[in-house]
Amino acid sequence: MRITMIGSGYVGLVSGACFADFGHDVTCVDKDASKIEALRAGRMPIYEPGLDQLVAGNVAAGRLTFTTDLAEGVKGADAVFIAVGTPSRRGDGHADLSYVFAATEEVARAATGPLVVVTKSTVPVGTGDRVEAILRETRPDIDFAVVSNPEFLREGAAISDFKRPDRIVIGTDDARARTVMHEIYRPLYIGESPILYTGRRTAELTKYAANAFLATKITFINEIADLCEAVGADVKDVSRGIGLDNRIGRKFLHAGPGYGGSCFPKDTLALLKTAEDYESPVRIVEAVVKVNDARKRAMGRKVVAALGGGDDARGKTVALLGLTFKPNTDDMRDAPSLAIVQSLQDCGITVRAYDPEGMAIAKTMMPDVVYCEDAYEAATGADAVAIVTEWDAFRALDLKRLAGLLTAPRLVDLRNVYDREEAERAGFSYSAIGR
């Protein structure tokens, strides 16, 4: 099959490279000429483990190409995937669909024959209807079929998620579109990955519902962690105890500083706005958003408390280990570190930081932070160290060495990476989440 991917960001690039690896001919289109130039030179615009090798292999095989020319990219395509950004609209929290609709108009003008147009971007319920209307209004002479095919990719594990998915959701009632999508995903169908065919609106809502539910699990265990601290329980054991129930499951039950990233914050907000528009409120998700926002600020206060709080903390220095919202990505969008750093600086605390992949982006967002070469440099001369992101590089630190570099050996473990006994043996005054 010949596939065109509109948008060469996280979703578009990973999806396009994986489709090419399945044997399809894929053209990735992007308006950003510098990004396309970098991709042609083998430089990735994002950090995702294994992506550079996957792209290089398929470019060398002639199955994956990059262009800024949308018309050229669409010519002769069997399916065009729209994978552009849908950020929260400034001021009201609605998903900004301007990029989706602009891409739709361009695809319509460039189409040369019957075409299946697939929304891969995360979009609110009913967006596919509007996309179909734009296509037909722009080019009434072309037979278009519009499909919703939401992505379920975890940053840091996106290639594995694409090639070994829990499920593939395809929203369409059009027989021709279903045949095209079946052929596109045939390699996964052969591998017995479940393919769920639904109505288009059902597919659109499934994506938001999934992310909102996962965000709810994270927020739930974070509140339970606070209760654990109050009553003297251990949230890691509580998580294990409830996670072994197959009805609940272990995933997303790790207490921490709250969720961030490219999906959960904007998707929960967009779901709230959709519910508001249809006068069908989702109170649980409303609470999740409020609790998560408060959670990030509370983590800053937790670090301040470890320094003695109030005036005792003013003028001190904290080493933050990890800035991205999760490990194995350079994504800083809505990362808890942003709120934590702000709350520390508001208290007159200097922040030294290290992250294996996120510092280049972090520097543009937090210019007043001192960025370091590694965890030990960050800790040198600091009054406390706080683990904010659970990178593998932080799971086996030389704790005795780390303690010796601090003016006072304080460790605030916001990801519960270490055991209290281990940290205290190294000389640390240790505080964690829900323990």
Q: Point out the residues that are catalytic.
A: 263
User: Cα–Cα distance between 340 and 430 in angstroms, integer?
Assistant: 18
Which residue do the tokens 């206060």 mark?
301
- The count of other CB atoms within 10 Å of the CB of residue 271 is 25
Tokens of residue 388, six digits: 């904010």
By C-alpha distance, which of 308, 401, 328 is closest to 153?
Answer: 328
What are 413-416's contacts with CB under 8 Å, separation 24+?
A: 413/386, 413/387, 414/256, 414/257, 414/299, 414/302, 414/336, 414/386, 414/387, 414/388, 415/254, 415/256, 415/257, 415/322, 415/387, 415/388, 415/389, 415/390, 416/235, 416/236, 416/254, 416/255, 416/256
Q: And the tokens for 203?
A: 């597919």
Number of Cα atoms under 13 Å in the Cβ half of residue 420 = 9
* The amino acid at 243: G
Bridge partners, residue 67, by sequence: 29
SS3 281: coil
- CA-CA distance, 13 to 18, in Å (whole number)? 8
Concatenate the DSSP letters of all residues of 306-375 into one string: HTTSHHHHTT-EEEEE--SSSSS----TT-HHHHHHHHHHHTT-EEEEE-TTTHHHHHHH-TTSEE-SSH
Q: Measured between alpha carbons, how far is 128 from 146 in angstroms, rounded to an integer?
A: 7
Q: If you search the block for the tokens 């329980």, which residue do you land on?
A: 233
Provide the 3-class DSSP secondary structure of residue 146.
Answer: strand
| Alpha carbon distances (Å) from 232 to 6, 240, 419, 430 | 52, 17, 16, 15
Q: How far is CA 157 from the centre of its chain?
A: 10
Distance CA 89, CA 97 (A): 9
